[in-house]
Amino acid sequence: MRLEIGNFYVKDMVFGAKTEFKDGLLTINKEEALRVVFEDEHITEADLYIVKPGDMVRLVPVKEAIEARCRIGGGPVFPGVTGELMQTGNGKIHAIKDSSILVVGKHWGGFQDGLIDMGGEGAKYTYYSQLKNLVLVADTDEDFEKREQQKKNHALRWAGMRLAEYVGKCVENLEPEETEVYELEPITKRSAEVNALPSVVLVLQPQSQMEELGYNDLVYGWDCNRMLPTFMHPNEVLDGAMISGSFMPCSSKWSTYDFQNFPMIKRLYKEHGKTINFLGVIMSNLNVALDQKQRAALFVAQMAKSLGADSAIVAEEGYGNPDADFIACIVAMEDAGIKTVGLTNECTGRDGASQPLVALDEKANAIVSCGNVSELIELPPMETVLGELESLARDGLSGGWSNDAILGPSVREDGSIIMENNAIFCGDMVVGWSTKTMKEF
């Protein structure tokens, strides 16, 4: 499979008469873009804003991030979700870089929603503060879930995807500034030189714990709770096959933008044929029952062994219950003779003294930590808030609280906040964006 991604780099973004991209300037026709949003009758209120790095703007509750793209030759950017099913990972797409579409609730947040600061001290905690963002702030008539801690956020998430396709169309007929090419030879057709290199498989565990449909990550529109571990070409992940769900504490989430640009996949591609033989991706799942966790781990290990993997990287989306899947998978791989590295965040408590993962095993002896979800973050008031700051404390956002006997409320009267890292949007960046490092004492 050969995927060509033609890139267009945004130097600035403004509202104007026509949605177009020219000389690094992305112009959005706001009225036209909002019509795309309101195609769903469940959207009751909506507005669009532009925020840029350094702006003193706080966004909460943030629900999704998506890269604007178009598929050259026709077809949806997200097959099985925004249009008919088709194979991804082959052909050409155009992508609008250094920018994203952010989806923010106008009133109601939930367990899975987060916070982004575009400027000030808080900006360092999330990758998305570095981008020029078109922000959709909207509300829906999905009253049944407004006061629920868990929300499917269906109307808002799908509106974001439609918006990403609408904006992406403006570069369809333009010549890209740069073209990235991602191509892997079939595993059995690789040269002797490539086959002589250490072989590596990437195992991804997207969020799929909710047995009720509508919360989990999607693969070609299929709920990942319904899947068994599946071998996928890495190009499929980069090309719209994977959609972020609406479950899991927000710092642990992988947004759709994260899937579209998965840094770990791109890093493995960079080393392919030089230092490693990159076999591809095993897309696994995260389960609830112990036998389901064990079954998935056995499938992954067998698949990796059959592919001829010498080594593996396992990355989990989430923490807590998913840690059991994560460790079980690493142990099964090690038992199969495959040297395995794990990528995860951890929950060590606000004092850092708790057990970092729910499950541990001595065979899981090479794990990269992407941060402590319970670490306290205190941020000053922000000049502008898009969304509703009160949602951080009121609506059960992981990382926020209405009141604490010692710390008081997450949202103070002056607009300053105290919360756990849990509430930073995609803040732990297990996919590979992270700029965090360990601190020595």
Do 430 and 316 meet the contact criterion of CB atoms below 8 Å apart? yes
pLDDT tens per residue across all 441 residues of the chain:
999 999 999 999 999 999 999 999 999 999 999 999 999 999 999 999 999 999 999 999 999 999 999 999 999 999 999 999 999 999 999 999 999 999 999 999 999 999 999 999 999 999 999 999 999 999 999 988 888 888 999 999 999 999 999 999 999 999 999 999 999 999 999 999 999 999 999 999 999 999 999 999 999 999 999 999 999 999 999 999 999 999 889 999 999 999 999 999 999 999 999 999 999 999 999 998 999 999 999 999 999 999 999 999 999 999 999 999 999 999 999 999 999 999 999 998 888 888 889 999 999 999 999 999 999 999 999 999 999 999 999 998 999 999 999 999 999 999 999 999 999 999 999 999 887 777 776
pLDDT digits (tens, 9 = 90+) for 229-251: 999 999 999 999 999 999 889 99
pLDDT digits (tens, 9 = 90+) for 20-62: 999 999 999 999 999 999 999 999 999 999 999 999 999 999 9
Q: Measured between alpha carbons, how far apart are the two ends of the chain, in Å?
A: 48
Task: Give pTM, 2 decimals.
Answer: 0.97
Compute the distance between CA of residue 283 and CA of residue 259 in angstroms, rounded to an integer. Answer: 12
Other CB atoms closer than 10 Å to residue 413's CB: what's the count?
Answer: 7
Question: Taking the domains of the chain in order of start, what are their residue ranges?
Answer: 2-423
Cis peptide before 61 (omega within 30 of 0): yes
275's tokens: 């230092």
Is the Cα torsion angle 423, 244, 64, 23 positive or negative in sign? positive
Which of these, 180, 141, 156, 178, lies nearest to 44 by C-alpha position?
141
Compute the distance between CA of residue 106 and CA of residue 110 in angstroms, rounded to an integer. Answer: 12
